[in-house]
Protein backbone atom coordinates (compact mmCIF):
# COMPACT_ATOMS: atom_id res chain seq x y z
CA UNK A 1 0.00 0.00 0.00
CA UNK A 2 1.09 3.55 -0.56
CA UNK A 3 2.12 4.19 3.05
CA UNK A 4 5.22 2.06 2.71
CA UNK A 5 6.57 3.87 -0.30
CA UNK A 6 7.55 6.73 2.01
CA UNK A 7 9.41 4.23 4.17
CA UNK A 8 12.07 3.67 1.56
CA UNK A 9 13.50 7.04 2.54
CA UNK A 10 15.93 7.52 5.39
Partner 1 sequence: MNIFRLAGDMTHLASVLVLLLKIHTIKSCAGVSLKTQELYALVFACRYLDIFTNFVSLYNTVMKLIFLGSSFSIVWYMRYHKVVRRSYDKDQDTFRHYFLVLPCLVLALLINEKFTFKEVMWTFSLYLEAVAILPQLVLLQRTRNIDNLTGQYVFLLGAYRGLYILNWIYRYFTEPHFVHWITWISGLVQTLLYADFFYYYYQSWKNNQKLHLPA
Within residues 1-10, the interface with partner 1 by CB under 8 A covers: 2-10
Q: How many residues in total does the chain contain?
A: 10
Min dist CB 9 to partner 1, Å, is: 7
Q: Helix, strand, or coil here: 1?
A: coil
- 7 class by beta-carbon count within 10 Å (0-12 exposed, 13-18 middle, 19+ buried): exposed
Min dist CB 3 to partner 1, Å, is: 5
Min dist CB 2 to partner 1, Å, is: 5
The contact set with partner 1 (CB under 8 A) reads 2-10
Amino acid sequence: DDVDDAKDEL
